[in-house]
Amino acid sequence: MEEIYQKLSVVNLWQGFSNSDDTSFEVIEARHQNASSKISINRKLVHLKELDSWLAEGTEDDGTASESLVLRLALIGCDIKRKLLKLSKEVLDPLLEEFNLELAYTYSQTCITNVSAIPSKGQQTYSFCYMPKLVAVWSQKGPFTHKQTGREVLPLTQGLILVEESNKGFLSDTLCSPWDALLYRSPMFPALLFSMILSMQVHFEEAKIKLKLREIEERTGQDRVAERKQETSTESYIKLAAQVDRHAVKLASVSRKSKMAEKTLSFILQNDVPRGSGGFGGFGQPSGNEPDRSKELLRSHVSLLQDRLSMQAVDIEYTLRRVQLQINTLAGIISRDDVKANLDLAESQHRDSLSMKTLAIVTMVFLPGSFISALFSTSMFDWDSIDSSASSIAVRTLPQFGLYWAITIPLTVVTFLLYFFWLRVMKRQRDRRKKSFDQLSAEEKGEGSAVDLAKLRKEGTEVSKKSTMPFGNW
């Protein structure tokens, strides 16, 4: 059975991560007080020089008649941006070997979100992945008989938790809260803690989104309680739209986290078999119904979390609908403002066109007179030969007058011919591009015979060699 996990471990999603030089790590320990059946929590820092003695705790040769070590979890910080695990391999490798978690740790690097039971060397190990925020591997050994006292010792759950540095404090505080002693019998106790943490984060993150969404609803007039705030600029609405888009992304992350918590709870129900055939009310006092009580208590906690998650899923869907409504509302407002701006621009252009038309009319009125005055001011007329006492207004022209028209008329004709030739060239280019586009459309739709398509393709290739337009590069 281990073979499939070893094969899948070839896929490594942690490529680029490296280990730091840190030789100390934080530990959360839970001890069962045998006289009172209560749990005491201890948080401490373990250094490399203390590693061997710390690992020896909880073995057959260790322990006292007053308490039993039932849980120890090593917390290892992760720097996601720098892709750094804040623990040296000199310390990490002995931990994995002692807890029999090498395969579970390697397999966890192949998953994004998953919770699995992984057999390793005849022992069941477990992996919880919610990358890159939280990854955990753990196992449970025992119960066993204490060699010195001959008494039965409770099972010990031990493992490693790799957590983002910013979330390390929250996770540590949550793990330091003691639970009923019966829950520590189950190897699924860490999974229960992780599912509860995810459920709490779903609640907190959604609450933040709701507060910010309420402010946006007030700005857009969608809030039924608060009055709409004064109109803002289109730029402000665009910024609001970007915020709403980010809220939609965060809600998708929250929904993913909720589904991961649901998956973990289902996994607990499938694997909630306490280790050992007997139980212990106090130290060394067998109680045959303890496993059943432990299983029943665990199932009741799981049932409560499942009910909360089902209602949270409904609330997430409702919040997502509100976000979608704000996206549509802001899109409508921005579109309306764009239409208004376009209308203002069209009105401005209309005024400009009226002004240009007025100038054109004024120019038409004065153009003939300007042309004649300019023409008469040239040296093409013999004004000195005019008899001022005569009643005739005839003016004798000079030879330059005929030269003027001999040059002007042909030049005007050539100008118009060049203009019409340019229009014809542009039309031919448009026709070629349209023909090439029709060819591509026909091929995509499967229309036309193979011969016609080949002909069109050949013609289109020739056009593409000649044309410098984007259509020629398709």
Q: What is the C-alpha separation between 73 and 190, in angstroms, rounded?
A: 9
For 429-455, the pLDDT digits (tens) are 999 988 888 877 776 665 555 555 555
For residue 221, what are its two tokens?
Answer: 């007039």
Are 258 and 361 in contact by the 8 Å Cβ rule? The answer is no
For residue 280, what are its two tokens?
Answer: 């212990």
One-letter amino acid identity for 386? Answer: I
Mean pLDDT of the chain: 82
Q: What is the C-alpha separation between 141 and 123, in angstroms, rounded?
A: 8
Task: State the average pLDDT over residues 390-400.
Answer: 74
Which one-letter DSSP state was computed for residue 112? S
How many residues are given for the chain? 474
Q: Read off the pLDDT band of 95 (50, 70, 90).
A: very high
Residue 137 dihedral angles phi and psi, to the nearest 5°:
-135, 140
Task: State the average pLDDT over residues 375-386.
Answer: 76
- The dihedral region occupied by 448, where left means phi > 0, alpha psi between -120 and 50, and beta the remainder, is left
Tokens 């019409």 -> residue: 420
Task: State the average pLDDT over residues 124-147.
Answer: 85
Q: Are strands 134-141 and 156-164 parallel, antiparallel or unpaired?
A: antiparallel
Task: State the average pLDDT over residues 278-287.
Answer: 39
For residue 87, what are its two tokens?
Answer: 């623990």
For 310-325, the pLDDT digits (tens) are 999 999 999 999 999 9
Nearest to 65 by CA among 36, 106, 33, 100: 33
Q: What is the C-alpha separation between 458 and 469, in angstroms, rounded?
A: 18
Alpha carbon 378 to its chain centroid, in Å, reads 77
One-letter amino acid identity for 81? Answer: K
Q: What is the C-alpha separation between 206 and 132, in angstroms, rounded?
A: 20
Alpha carbon 30 to its chain centroid, in Å, reads 38
Asked if the bond preceding 132 is cis, omega within 30° of 0, the reply is: yes
Its pTM stands at 0.69
The pLDDT of residue 121 is above 70 = yes
CB-based burial label for 244 (10 Å; 0-12, 13-18, 19+): buried
β-sheet bridge partners, residue 394: none
Q: What single string gives the DSSP state of each residue in 230-259?
A: PP--HHHHHHHHHHHHHHHHHHHHHHHHHH
Q: What is the C-alpha separation between 77 and 84, in angstroms, rounded?
A: 9
The pLDDT of residue 17 is above 90 = no
Tokens 């857009």 -> residue: 220
